[in-house]
Amino acid sequence: MKTYIDFLRRELEVRLDEATLFDVDCPLRLGAAIRYSLLGSGKRLRPLFVIFATEMCGGNRDSAMPAACAVEMIHAYSLIHDDLPAMDNDDLRRGRPTCHKQFDEATAILAGDALIPFAFEMLSKLSPDVVGRCSLELARAAGASALVGGQMDDIEKEKDIDTKQQEPAIKLLERIHQRKTGALIRVSLRLGGIIAGASDEWIAGLDNFGQKFGLAFQITDDLLDVLGNEETVGKRLRKDAAMDKWTYPALLGIEESKSEALRNINEAIAELSIFDNSIAKEILTNLTRNLIGREK
């Protein structure tokens, strides 16, 4: 199982590498910054989800590769921009200097910018019968009411006294993460289903799984910030507490956060019961189960 994941990661990285051999019109520095961030050692969770969802719905892995690359490109852009001084101001990502530290801020902004249209260029390589729907779904998931909107609310949340009074912190935090982290995870699964020609029921099952997985992923990410090892995680930790940020451990405590993560993990796995048994389903189940003990 681990070997299949490793094989897919290598395959994805070859595709991403080939896709970013830019022509002469792309400035060398920009191309280098894009490749630096995109090809760094990520877990490739979202592209793996595209592939596993396709396989679980009876589709073929190769047909899903353009969408798998596309979601990783959107993810890479969001990390580059999130690390900028105007946002999270991080100097370490995937065990290396962040893009703006390695290059400079303007280059990092442009590298992130370039990855967005690039993702849609990748999607255009999908079969013509699914390309329109996949483009719409990815555009929405990456847009102002999802990924970008979640990030905006995340930046604003501690400042906004009115919102704080209107909505309990934990509910707002959940709504932020549904968009900031959850939307891209959900759409990765949905794209896999669409590419395989899955029924609405199956796509809804994938979506529900993604929603629960996304929350559990975010809670365990917050727990990693408190309990994790900086070298293993590959980014600066203990920043959330130092900045007094709203996180699950800060709002619920460590033990309750773990229970909340576990509840979402179990509910996510239950959503997969509508699918026939397959290697992809088994891997997805194990990936989800292992979230609770994840070290990076």
Q: In whole angstroms, what is the distance from residue 52 CA to residue 221 CA?
A: 22
| Total binding residues toward ligand GRG, as defined by CB under 6 A | 16
Instruction: Count other Cβ atoms within 10 Å, centred on residue 201.
Output: 9
Q: Which long-range contacts (CB under 8 A, 24 or more apart) does 287-290 make?
A: 287/45, 287/48, 288/213, 288/216, 289/265
Residue with tokens 């910018």, as numbered in its chain: 113
Binding to ligand GRG (CB under 6 A) within 134-153 occurs at: 147-148, 151
Binding to ligand GRG (CB under 6 A) within 183-222 occurs at: 218, 221
Q: How far is the CB of 233 from ligand GRG (least distance, A)?
A: 9
Is residue 264 a contact point for ligand GRG (CB under 6 A)? no
Nearer to ligand GRG, 125 or 239 (CB): 239
What are the backbone angles phi and psi of residue 229, rounded to the nearest 5°? -105, 125
Nearer to ligand GRG, 118 or 275 (CB): 118
Is residue 78 a contact point for ligand GRG (CB under 6 A)? yes
SS3 letters for 45-73?
A: HHHHHHHHHHHHCCCCHHHHHHHHHHHHH
Q: How far is the CB of 16 from ligand GRG (least distance, A)?
A: 12
List the beta bridge partners of residue 97: 92
Nearer to ligand GRG, 81 or 190 (CB): 81
With contacts defined by CB under 6 A, name the span among 76-84, 161-169, 248-256, 287-295 that binds ligand GRG: 76-84
Residue nearest ligand GRG, CB atom distance: 42
Helix (H, G, I), strand (E, B) or coil at 162: helix
Is residue 43 a contact point for ligand GRG (CB under 6 A)? yes
Is residue 107 a contact point for ligand GRG (CB under 6 A)? no
Q: In whole angstroms, what is the distance from residue 93 CA to residue 122 CA?
A: 25
Q: How far is the CB of 161 from ligand GRG (least distance, A)?
A: 24
Helix (H, G, I), strand (E, B) or coil at 269: helix
With contacts defined by CB under 6 A, name the span among 78-86, 95-103, 197-205, 253-261 that binds ligand GRG: 78-86
Nearer to ligand GRG, 50 or 198 (CB): 50
Burial 178-196 (b: 16+ CB within 10 A, else e): bbbbbbbbbbbbbbbbbbb
With contacts defined by CB under 6 A, name the span among 6-14, 38-46, 58-66, 202-210 that binds ligand GRG: 38-46
Q: How far is the CB of 128 from ligand GRG (least distance, A)?
A: 29
SS3 letters for 75-139?
A: HHHHHHHHCCCCCCCCCEECCEECHHHHCCHHHHHHHHHHHHHHHHHHHCCCCHHHHHHHHHHHH
Site string for ligand GRG, 54-73 (x = CB under 6 A): --------------------
Q: How far is the CB of 178 from ligand GRG (least distance, A)?
A: 12
Is residue 180 a contact point for ligand GRG (CB under 6 A)? yes
What are the backbone angles phi and psi of residue 132, rounded to the nearest 5°? -65, -50
Which stretches of the chain bind ligand GRG, using CB under 6 A?
42-43, 45, 75, 78-79, 81-82, 94, 147-148, 151, 180-181, 218, 221
